[in-house]
Structure 1
Amino acid sequence: MIALMPSRPAHRAAHSRRAYRILPTLAAMAALLSVDLPDAAAVPPLGVTAEAGSDAAANRVGALFAGGLDGGHFCTAAVVRSADRNVIATAAHCLDHPDTTVFAPGYRDGTAPYGLWKLTGTYVAPSWTDGQDPDDDVAFATVAPADGGARRIEDAVGGFPVVTEQPADVTVAIIGYPSTDETPLRCANTTSLFSDTQRRIDCPDLSGGTSGSPWLADGALAGVLGGYEAGGTVPEVSYSAVMGDQALELYREAAVSAG
């Protein structure tokens, strides 16, 4: 396992500028190597979808809205660790309109307990921008308080490490927001490789709006819901592009950006 620091789609809609920055020093990267597991909580059996509890992991996951809370949420994203403590991960097809998209971590029942965050930069693979390659349906974005404040999102809710090179049958937990629900759902199950570049999971009820949901392996982000069929055409089966070198490079760029 490598652990490094660094539309509005229905289920599962990305043209973006990219910026390149020098990679952080080894010392800075080392600070983000360890996996910060959320507090233990009762969770449903494998393959069962239920409402996610309000714990540390769920608070790092949020809904993406069109303009504000009254605009409706259409995708999911999660906070990941970064040098400037301001990076989220989602599916590339969720970033069609970055200028009007806002992120609400820990969103529940019409409230945003950690505020709304605007996107200040997006990091999408050229193969997605040019041809929407499902193998690159992974993206990162930097965020800042929508109210113009100077807070850092990772200081508010923490962040997930990012990992690659997971086994074919790794077990992951998914936390995401169906567009018709006002609370997040959680499901964990063992995955399988649909292809060399796509991972599959059987979890019911992950319907429209769950695109971009983090796939968490032992508390670290190992993928996002998206990829093949934009994440899947039925709510019982979902997909994620395998996190590879391209996704890792995007993460590095976002993680050391000035935001």
Structure 2
Amino acid sequence: MNRAGKRLITLAGALALCLVSVPAVQAAPSGTYWTPERMRAAAPLDIRTADASALRVTIPTGEPASVAPMAFPHGGGPWTGGGAVVTTAGRVFFTYQGRNASCSGNAVTSGNKSTVITAGHCVKLDGAYHTNVAFVPAYNNGNAPYGTWNARRTLATPQWDATEDINYDIGAIVVGQLNGQSLTDVVGSQGIAFNQPRAVDAYAFGYPAAAPYDGTRLIYCGGRTFNAFLSNGLGMTCDMTGGASGGPWFRSFSEATGTGTLISVNSYKINIIPTWMFGPYFGTDAQNLHNQAQAA
């Protein structure tokens, strides 16, 4: 695990706020930078890990009793259902502190048809925005069947931009056109919603690349969301690992069509409960980020 993954999340850090956002504008990587070999070799960025003992809180075992589970909860496995999510979800590649790394992301409905939503730490970490950022929808073991879409702008919520506050671990990537076409005209998009109910049946997707996964396939989890313990976000039973960060959480997801409404992203785990995943609540700050990205 890298230094950032080991860093403890403190209550003070979790509650820190800022009022302005400073988006990053970056030069797009060359079209040949992300070769199949570099994509396969990219290290999964660790899902941020919270040390619950440092916060002196009691973590219950099992899913909270107040939350009714889905009829068929799924802790993590390959997605074989097909549908739109196969092309809207993908891997996010970037260079972080001199190494090539990866996360996950998803194309969403947007005015510019070019917006990908991911985790904040997948665009900025340890005070600096990543470079060579690109989105590869429908990634398949080094193959990019719908092309490699280079970022022309990366953004984060103002709270993540200022202090990397885990409550607002949300990022956006605005990609350039490829062969004269816009991203969602090629791969489709998923809807996105804000200020939604906190306890819903949801599906999470991503490309975890740390053991026992290898980053070659789209993985999913399904379950009832519950209130997170160390942040104001949401939790779900899910064993995805590093590289899944930024992958989408959908409510009202249809297994038949592979479509849903994005309400969160994979963000962090608690070190003593590896079977739970947590994501930020999409409130007004997430909505403002989406609006800012789709206008770029």
Query: 1:186 pairs with 220, 223, 228, which one?
Result: 220
Q: Is the contact between residue 51 and residue 185 of structure 1 (CA under 8 Å) also seen in structure 2?
A: yes
Query: 1:153 pairs with 183, 189, 210, which one?
Result: 183
What is the alpha-carbon distance in structure 1 between the residues aligned to residue 111 and residue 234 of structure 2? 29
SS of 1:239's equivalent in the other structure is strand
SS of 1:100's equivalent in the other structure is strand
Cα deviation, 1:5-40, whole Å, max 9, x if unaligned, reads: xx99769xxxx8428xxxxxxxxxxxxxxxxxxxxx
Query: 1:126 pairs with 158, 162, 181, which one?
Result: 158
Cα deviation, 1:124-145, whole Å, max 9, x if unaligned, reads: 1222122111111011121024
Q: Is the contact between residue 94 and residue 130 of structure 2 (CA under 8 Å) also seen in structure 1?
A: no
Look up the match of 2:68.
none
- Letter aligned with residue 81 of structure 1: T
Give ranges in structure 2 of 5+ residues lacking alignment.
Answer: 7-20, 25-70, 253-259
Aligned CA distance change for structure 1 residues 9 and 149 (closer, same or farther; 3 Å): farther
What is the alpha-carbon distance in structure 2 between the residues aligned to residue 8 and residue 88 of structure 1? 27
- Letter aligned with residue 165 of structure 2: D
SS of 1:48's equivalent in the other structure is strand
Cα deviation, 1:175-224, whole Å, max 9, x if unaligned, reads: 100122301101111010125721011122x0111100100111010011
SS of 2:131's equivalent in the other structure is helix
Q: How does 1:178-257 map to 2 (within 5 A)?
A: 178-179=208-209, 180-194=214-228, 197-204=232-239, 206-218=240-252, 219-226=260-267, 230-233=268-271, 235-257=274-296
Aligned CA distance change for structure 1 residues 178 and 235 (closer, same or farther; 3 Å): farther
What is the alpha-carbon distance in structure 1 between the residues aligned to residue 171 and residue 237 of structure 2? 23
What is the alpha-carbon distance in structure 2 between the residues aligned to residue 121 and residue 217 of structure 1? 28
SS of 2:74's equivalent in the other structure is coil
What is the alpha-carbon distance in structure 2 between the residues aligned to residue 153 and residue 167 of structure 1? 30
Look up the match of 1:56.
84
Q: Is the contact between residue 75 and residue 237 of structure 2 (CA under 8 Å) also seen in structure 1?
A: no
Q: Is the contact between residue 120 and residue 160 of structure 2 (CA under 8 Å) also seen in structure 1?
A: yes
Query: 1:164 pairs with 194, 207, 212, which one?
Result: 194
Aligned CA distance change for structure 1 residues 106 and 212 (closer, same or farther; 3 Å): same
Look up the match of 1:176.
206
- Higher-RCO chain (CA-CA 8 Å, sequence separation at least 6): 1
Aligned CA distance change for structure 1 residues 193 and 87 (closer, same or farther; 3 Å): same
Aligned CA distance change for structure 1 residues 141 and 181 (closer, same or farther; 3 Å): closer
Match status 1:92 vs 2:115 = no
Shift of 1:72: 6.1
Aligned residues: 214
What TM-score, normalized by structure 2, do the two folds share? 0.66
What is the alpha-carbon distance in structure 2 between the residues aligned to residue 58 and residue 135 of structure 1? 28
Aligned CA distance change for structure 1 residues 231 and 254 (closer, same or farther; 3 Å): farther
SS of 1:59's equivalent in the other structure is helix
What TM-score, normalized by structure 1, do the two folds share? 0.75
Look up the match of 2:23.
18
Q: How does 1:37-52 map to 2 (within 5 A)?
A: 45-52=72-79
SS of 2:140's equivalent in the other structure is coil
What is the alpha-carbon distance in structure 1 between the residues aligned to residue 141 and residue 162 of structure 2? 37
Give ranges in structure 1 of 5+ residues lacking alignment.
Answer: 1-6, 20-43
